[in-house]
Amino acid sequence: MRQNHVLALLCFLLLGTPIVSLGQSTAAPSDQSQSQGTKLTNRDVLDLVNSGLTTEIVVAKIKSTECAFDTSPSALKELKALGIPDSVILAMVTAGNGSVKSVDSPQNLPASPPTAQVMESHAEPAPSSNPKGYRITYVKSDKKWKYGLRSEPYDKVSDYLVTKLVDNLNIKGVKTVAEIDGACCFVSVELLEVTTHPAVVKKPGIDASANLAVTNAEGKLIYSKGYRGESRTVANTWGHLINHASEDLAKNMAEDENLIHVLATGTL
């Protein structure tokens, strides 16, 4: 053992580098780059809500945590059915996948970018004339239209109404997007009433009314309005009459110039 210590001392004096004595071992350094947490999921949000935390706390957690949410239409319907508040669902939708944005460290940046790239990085971005786009859903309801033995769930009518509204807005040049960008826009449609219009000279009809609300990425209300549609088609089934009333309702929404402006610019 004394011989080993003498050898180590000689190496340090001659080379400036100590060596480990024979029989000694060194522990591997711990991995400091390992992630310190997991992304927030739909199940995590459900657990937080069910634990009794306030809506404000859950929304704040979503905004301050990296997320990996499933915000497909079927997932949103399931969240609503499980009693998740609309404000929490909106926060999940606007969060997308990754609420917390990472910043590149200096060692990850190019050492000497070309001059053209440097100049471009300091240039002001050109304003976009394209619509910002929107995401859309409808408020679920357990109500049904009924006439005699016939009935139609409001959710089925709402689903058809939203589909036709998207088609009409596409014609206006306003498109849906996978994730809300910037300040715009989340559209919520609430079907208020589907009623049977009394027959006049054997010409029955259906009246439909709905509210539409537009909020920005922070959940702030930008625009809201009520709309109405009707069907007065002769010799048709009640299902066709309800569809025609929904189509008329969707067309009236899409012809609202204020709504188009809000979805295209993010402001009223």
Give the tens place of pLDDT for each residue, 134-183.
Answer: 888 899 989 988 877 888 899 999 999 999 999 999 888 888 887 766 55
pLDDT at 64: 85
Residues 157, 56 share a domain = no
**SS3 category, 193:** strand
Indicate the SS3 state at residue 109. coil
Q: Which residue has the higher pLDDT, 56 or 34?
A: 56
Question: What is the value of pTM for the model shown?
Answer: 0.51
Q: At what angle do helices 73-81 and 42-50 cross, to 10 degrees?
A: 10
Q: In whole angstroms, how far apart are CA 65 and each of 87, 180, 182, 244?
A: 17, 17, 18, 45
Mean pLDDT of the chain: 74
Question: Does residue 117 or residue 146 have the better pLDDT?
Answer: 146
CATH code assigned at 217: 3.40.50.10610
* Domain extent at residue 200: 135-265
Q: What is the number of structural domains in the chain?
A: 2
- 243 shares a domain with 155: yes
Residue 185 shares a structural domain with residue 68: no
Strand partners, 187: 136, 214
90 in a structural domain? yes
